[in-house]
Amino acid sequence: MSSSNTTVQTINVKSSDTAFFHNNVDFCVGTGRFGLALTKEYLDELRFVQEEIGFKHIRGHGIFTDDTAIYHEYEEDGITKVEYNYTYLDRIMDEYLKLNIRPFIELGFMPKDLASGTQTIFYWKGNTTPPKSYERWCDLVVALLTHLMERYGEKDVLTWPIEVWNEPNLPGFWEHADMKEYCKLFKETFTAIKELNPAFKVGGPAICGVKDAEWIKGFLDFCKENELKPDFITRHHYTIEFPEADGHYDYSVLMDEEAGFANLQSTRDIIDSFDEYKGLPIHITEFSSSYTPKGVIHDTNLNAALMARQLSRLGDMNESYSYWTFGDVFEETGVPFSLFHGGFGLVAAGSIPKPTFWTFKFYTDLKKLGEGCVFKNDNAVIEKTAKGYAGVLFNESSDESLDIKLSLEDIAKGEDADNEYTLILKTVSPKTTNPLKLWHDLGEPATPNSEQTKLIKSAAFPQVTSDRLTASEGSISFDQTLDPETVVYFELSKSKVKSDRGYSYERTINTR
């Protein structure tokens, strides 16, 4: 991609500057249904993600669906009895803990034996009807949590957030999108969990996009009337208009980002309008650009740049925000037909990182190094560090380059005013980091062989460049041009060259 238009932006930063930036990028990430964690490819992808990023929690559907096989009813002496089977649950949770990730438990969907109806959703037929017995539903939830505490320790399990159901404001996910029935489900579930142990953190209503203001207010009105105090509120956030389907794929038109942020703020405002719930944390338990697992935008550099801006702003009004999802092992609309199919994942099959993966990696690295945000706008987040500065720069435009002229003032003082610094730049752009293009140029093999996978993966990593800069009167300036749809991570840190006796870098590279 080339651009003949360039926008110039000057950024001047002082170490005493401050800007609000709540960076909780690594708190949680989404997954397909829990049963997929029984497969090797799923665990390979999650292992790669955890090694590079290291999310604290993982949230997915289907902890109670029949492929995890927890809930069973049987007849004995003419009496219907219930038994639980934790074989698969334990196998899944054991793998999660090995990878140092804990569940953000979404309670759903309904086991077939416990369901009041036959409505299902997705290729894997998750039942989305209320329980035929709320007593047995609550017994199931309490038994699950009791088992988890016995196996993994009460202290640990009590830190695992619990969300009641998923998107009950959509009729496909909750029969008739019945708010009254959902509120009953929440009350019964919330009460049962708090009676088991009041230290559990429980929230809802996990709504997405339709009548969200009505649902948030209605839910809190119900909680107030019934003297319930959820520990947090959950909702979802996607940034596209209704997509156009073509074959196996969905093509999306982006919505106005500012309208999306305003919608999130409206949820904050509704919660804070209740004296009882003012300041209650909001967890976005799903977010991405497109809400379809066939959304081709997910595989692109544009998505990486879009998510860079989202991550810079989502903490303004939310405690956490969970990207949907970490990997492309996902079957809501069926088994994918091809390697790059618009899947939600940060990584594709073969643990091939998509450009958006690096956006999350960059913000995670910034969180580890950062000691306070000094600058934030629609193209940059910059933090001071123990040795200098670090930041994420991004350009969402698809047709204009962005030339950022960055001046980092009072980086060094006194005797250190003229010290040398190392500048590390990691660039993710259509030119430098574009596995989608290489796959296309190879002829779009649906399931690449091992050599093709290795080649595609080699094109999926950032371009790393470096320089040595000298502070002048305590300040350092450098220019960075961002091509369209580009994300750049930089670290500027004080360093000193300590050459071995007789070694000269300058003589080495100038041998002719």
pLDDT of residue 416: 58
Query: Three-class SS of residue 46?
Result: helix
Q: What is the pLDDT of residue 25?
A: 98
Q: Where are the alpha helices (DSSP H) in 199-354?
A: 212-225, 257-272, 301-313
Alpha-carbon distances, residue 342 vs 305, 437, 442 (angstroms): 16, 14, 18
Check if the beta carbon of residue 171 is closer than 8 Å to that of residue 121: no
For the segment 167-186, what is each residue's pLDDT rounded down to a tens digit? 999 999 999 999 999 999 99
Residue 244 annotated in active site: no
Calculate helix-pair angle for 134-152, 179-196, nearest 10 degrees.
40
Could you report the per-residue pLDDT of 87-113, keeping only the tens digit for each? 999 999 999 999 999 999 999 999 999
Which pLDDT value is given to residue 50?
98
Q: Give the pLDDT confidence score for residue 4 in this predicted structure.
A: 62
Q: What parts of the chain have a pLDDT lower than 50?
A: 1-2
Q: Provide the 10 A C-beta neighbour count for residue 390.
A: 24
Which residues, at least 6 apart from 74, have a Cβ–Cβ distance to it below 8 Å? 80, 81, 83
Please give the pLDDT value at position 101.
98
The full 3-state SS of 306-347, as one line of letters, equals: HHHHHHHHHHHCCCEEEECCCECCCCCCCCCCCCCCCCCCCE
**Domains of the chain with CATH codes:** 5-18+372-496 (2.60.40.1500), 61-103+105-160+162-230 (3.20.20.80)
pTM above 0.85, yes or no: yes
CB 116 within 8 A of CB 129: yes
Nearest to 395 by CA among 373, 378, 374, 382: 378
| Annotated active-site residue in 163, 167, 175, 485 | 167
